[in-house]
Structure 1
């Protein structure tokens, strides 16, 4: 049974010319709202269509008189992200033309930032550390801009945190036209899209969102057959569970995008622990080759770049000058490959010991991130032993 807010929102969507025939908006326990197919959709068939003018963008918002005045009170131009945060922080459902949509937005979020969970940086794996720092910095910068608007515009910390999360969890990549009142240093490529943002995330998504510039229409197309009574999903990106948790506040049971980041310095440390002596020349060549050493849950064993890094560890010093030819042109010698795999197995066994020690040392709230990465290490080790 649909609530009054849902009925009002759907009526509002129809007045905005948003087309969603064949879809039903439902509340999904633990995930918020979601969209269910009430009929079959064929591959390439539009599932949702809406005019481009329905997109909430920074350039559109800043042309509203009260927000144009607000920008005039800032010492620097707002970024597209900041402008959208200010919009959601100041709009009220009772007076906004977006009122029915605003009423549908979550009242709270389950991200660590929203719930006040602090992660010491030493507790986080490299795969998520830089993103965690980025999130903290973005919130800090927009908070400082809001402070500079007082006393004319008063936004509480709680309201700002909520608005920041609305934009952070619901914005979608769209290339927008430049606006002179918006800082274009990093371009303007985000929008909030009512109704489309009710689609939940899956790594096995059936829907693909895109903007058709010729018809000025934003749409979600079926990229595979969608069965009646199934939930329609899009993919928010190839994110690890740590990234999903920090950005959106949820995790997946079987996430194929789990990975382990092994930077070159760690790669060298593990090699030395295995008794491999590394000259500065060898280190420099491995860095110049710029092949990632990372592990991925979807790989059946070590990746091609990682194996080649192991080959560069083992080749004779006098052959290092021909490293490019060795990697890209020379056939792989079976004995060399076996030696590389043996070396990688030794290195990853030592990495495994590091992970086990780290899991013992860090806070309970961060252990699961390391355990998920340890599982990826184990998968690679198992493949090397076959």
Structure 2
């Protein structure tokens, strides 16, 4: 465990809510109240210390119409400090304050990362872990103190909660965990290598929890800024990760319309809004047209009324239903080729138009009809603690799946 990091105290204690959050009636706000994100800095310290530190690199509040605020519905976010009109600039952050792969490859980590050929994502994770371990010696220390030290992405969830997720989502969570652990195992050699020439890292035993924190930070807080490929990094799709202090406190709404990206004139990352806000309102950006599964896996929350929601009912859902149903005698009526056709198809059911793609073969329709009945019963979920935010997420996801299964039955 990094000597300068906040100690971990078990999954349940970190992730479960206090039970006293106010319920939001705003359908645009996510139903996972991130008041159980845990921060090491108060909102006042963020406002003062972070802004003061950023000011030494050219950041000025004169170009920022926002200030940090703790919201009942969404936790920490940014509020409009004055009336904001469509077309206004929300914030400009100088490039020197932004952490990208270019930042990493210009640091003391360059040679080690080059030797082990990391992806841009892994390189950023290594950089964050190492800088966090350096404590006040790190030039990024004032920014790192503003970051949560735990996140609500399912990688953090205890196994009993993961088991209650719909099968398709649960499998994605398990795959995600394997990916993170695989990255950590690869990066351990780099941590040992860096410790040989960085005094602050010599005696630090960087754990999987430390690495998951870094991965969660990159995954949940980065904005999109496409970088030129670095020949010393392993190519893994686009290199578009950028951590932007202060700006990364903006929360998501599917209704927000913004223009964001690098501004050549000001040499900064700039966000302008096409949505007007009154002074005192929370200001949002749009992370993209993501389904609830995508939002949960990548950011740790879901939307109560998400117009972009897509439910994927795949082969694993039906096979799981079979394994949990004793009466499978009807399967002898299904020819092997028909069963093959069934197993090779997916359903993409969108809440907006309820489009369902199915096989036209009568035998396949028969097995699906029976399995869907079984599956609808399986998605019945009773919350053990109605005040637990994570229980609310699972209940909502199961209800969505049950609704789509019911629609499938109606269309057969």
- Residue 259 of structure 2 corresponds to residue 218 of structure 1: no
Structure-2 separation of matches of 1:370 and 1:99: 41
Query: For residues 123-156 of structure 1, what are the alpha-carbon distances to aligned partners after superposition, in whole Å with 9 as ceiling and x for unaligned?
Result: 5435435532442133112211332233645343
- SS of equivalent residue, structure 1 residue 44: coil
- 8 Å contact from structure 2 (residues 310, 350) kept in 1: yes
Separation of aligned partners in 2, 1:253 and 1:356: 22
Q: Which residue of 2 aligns with 1:198?
A: 249
Q: Which is worse superposed, 156-165 or 256-265?
A: 256-265
1:44 aligns with 2:60: no
Q: Scaled by the length of structure 1, what TM-score is found? A: 0.71
Measure the CA separation in 2 of the matches of 1:69 and 1:161.
23
Paired residue secondary structure (2:76): strand
Instruction: Considering Cα pairs closer than 8 Å and 6+ residues apart, tell me whether 1 or 2 has the greater RCO.
Output: 2
Aligned to 1:147: 188
Task: Give the count of matched residue pairs.
Answer: 340
Q: 1:147-189 deviations in whole A, cap 9, x for unaligned?
A: 2233645343232222222112112222102223222243312
Q: Name structure 1 gaps, 5 residues minimum.
A: 315-342
115, 118, 127: which one aligns with 1:87: 127
Contact 2:46-2:68 at 8 Å conserved across structures: no
1:244 lines up with 2:285 in the alignment: no
Q: Specify the alignment match of 2:143 in structure 1.
A: 101
CA distance in 1, matches of 2:369, 2:288: 28
Name the structure 2 match of 1:297: 351
Q: CA deviation at 1:96?
A: 2.0
1:70 aligns with 2:98: no
State the partner residue of 1:256: 307
Cα distance change of structure 1 residues 135 and 37 upon mapping to structure 2, 3 Å threshold: same
User: Is residue 24 of structure 1 aligned with residue 67 of structure 2?
Assistant: yes
Kept after mapping to 2: 8 A contact 1:112/1:118:
no
After superposition, the Cα gap between the structure-2 partners of 1:188 and 1:228, relative to the gap in structure 1 and judged at 3 Å, is same
TM superposition shift of 1:79: 1.0
Return the alpha-carbon distance in structure 1 between the equivalents of residues 120 and 237 of structure 2. 9
Q: Which residue of 2 aligns with 1:34?
A: 77
Q: How does 1:121-132 map to 2 (within 5 A)?
A: 124-125=165-166, 127-129=168-170, 131-132=172-173
- Aligned CA RMSD, in angstroms, stands at 4.1
In structure 1, distance between residues paired with 2:70 and 2:163: 38
Q: CA deviation at 1:359?
A: 4.3
- Following TM superposition, by how much is the alpha carbon of 1:191 offset from its aligned partner in structure 2, in angstroms? 1.4
* Alpha carbons 2:129, 2:211 under 8 Å: kept: yes
| Residue 405 (structure 2) pairs with residue 374 (structure 1) | no
Residue 333 of structure 1 corresponds to: none
The answer to whether 1:11 aligns with 2:52 is: yes
Deviation sequence 1:100-127 (CA, Å, 0-9, x none)? 2111111222333224x12698754354
How far did residue 258 of structure 1 move? 3.3
Taking a change above 3 Å as real, the CA distance of residues 367 and 10 of structure 1, as seen in their structure-2 partners, is closer
More moved, 195-204 vs 119-128: 119-128
User: Which blocks of at least 5 consecutive residues in structure 2 are unaligned?
Assistant: 1-41, 323-329, 386-390
**Which residue of structure 1 lines up, in the alignment, with residue 5 of structure 2?**
none
TM-score, reference length from structure 2 = 0.67
* Equivalent position of 2:378 in the other structure: 357
- The CA deviation at 1:217 is 3.5
Instruction: Give the distance between the partners of 1:174 and 1:134, measured in 2 at CA.
Output: 26
Residue in 2 that maps onto 1:156 = 206
Return the offset for 1:42: 2.4
CA–CA distance in structure 2, aligned partners of residues 194 and 130 of structure 1: 33
Give the distance between the partners of 1:255 and 1:127, measured in 2 at CA: 19
Distance change >3 Å, CA 128–CA 236, structure 1 → 2: farther
Check conservation: 2:253, 2:284, Cα contact below 8 A: yes
Three-state SS of the structure 1 residue aligned to 2:149 is coil
- Tell me the CA shift for residue 56 of structure 1: 0.7
Please show how residues 109-124 of structure 1 align to structure 2 within 5 Å: 109-115=151-157, 117-118=158-159, 124=165
| 1:239, distance to aligned residue in structure 2 (A) | 3.4
| Deviations 1:210-258, CA, capped at 9 Å, x for gaps | 3345764322121222233211112223334444334333333333333
Write the distance in 2 (CA, Å) between the matches of 1:94 and 1:265.
Answer: 48
Change (3 A) 1:202 1:83: same
Decide whether aligned partners of structure 1 residues 90 and 162 sit closer, same or farther in structure 2, where only a CA change above 3 A counts.
same
